[in-house]
A and B are shown apart, each in its own frame.
Chain A
Amino acid sequence: MLMTALYIAFALISVALLLNVIGLARGPSIPDRVLSLDTLYINSIALIIVYGIAEASTIHFEAALLIAMLGFVSTAALCKYMVRGDIIE
C-alpha cells in the first residue's frame, strides 16, 4: 500500500514540476519567474523526500537540506538585486 501511495505521490509531484516549468516560461514579469523558480526548488525537495522514503535510505535528505538552503539564499539574492540593484552594498 505504501508503494502505491509513493507512486501516486511521484505522479502528482511530477505534474506539479511541469506546471512550475510552464509558469517559469510564461510568467509575464521577473518576480513571477523568481516565484516559479522558488516553487520549483521546493517541489524538487518534495520529490527527493518521496524518493528517499521509497529507497528507505537517509542519504537523500542531506541533498534536500542543501537544496533548501541554496534555494532560499538564491531567492533572497534575486529579490535584493531587483529591489536595490545590487546584492552586497
Chain B
Amino acid sequence: MSAQLPTLLELLLSALIIFGAALVLIGSIGLVKLPDFFTRLHAPTKATTLGMGSLLIASLIFTSYVTGDLSVQQLLITLFLFITAPIAAHMLAKTALHLRIQTVESTANSELQKAARERTAPQTSAETAEPGQ
C-alpha cells in the first residue's frame, strides 16, 4: 500500500469494496441454495452484477485518485458487464426453456412456458415484402 488517502475517501472505498464483495458472495450463495434453474438464474445476474458495479466504482475512484487522471478501463469493464449480464441470462433462460428444465411446483403461470417455447422471432417488413427470399 503506497498512497496515503484522505480518511473520508478511504472510508468510502472500504464501504464500497465490502458492499460489493458481500453482494458477490450473496449471488453465489443463491446459486447454490435456490431450488430450480430459473430461480437460480436470478441470484448471479442481479446480485453479482450490482456487486461488480460497486467494486468497479471503488476501483475507478482509487485508480483515478492515485494516478491523477481518469482511468477508462474500469468504466469499460463496468459497461461491458452491465450490457452482457442480461444478455447471458436471457440466453440461458431460452436454453433452459428449450431443454425443458423442470421448474419447482409452485411456479406461477407455468402453462405459459409452452407458448414461450414455441414463439418464433417476429417477421420483419423486409421478409414479408419479399417472399422469394
Contacts and interface: CB of A to CB of B under 8 A. Distances in A.
Given A30-B99, A58-B67, A68-B80, A53 B18 contact: no
Contacts of A32: 37, 40
Nearest to A8: B18
B55 A46 contact: yes
Given A22-B32, A68-B84, 10 more contacts: A3-B1, A9-B21, A15-B28, A23-B32, A30-B99, A31-B95, A42-B48, A54-B1, A79-B94, A83-B95
Interface of A: 1-6, 8-9, 12-13, 15-17, 19-20, 22-23, 26, 29-32, 34-36, 38-39, 42-43, 45-46, 49-50, 52-54, 56, 58, 61-62, 64-65, 68-69, 72, 75-76, 79-80, 82-83
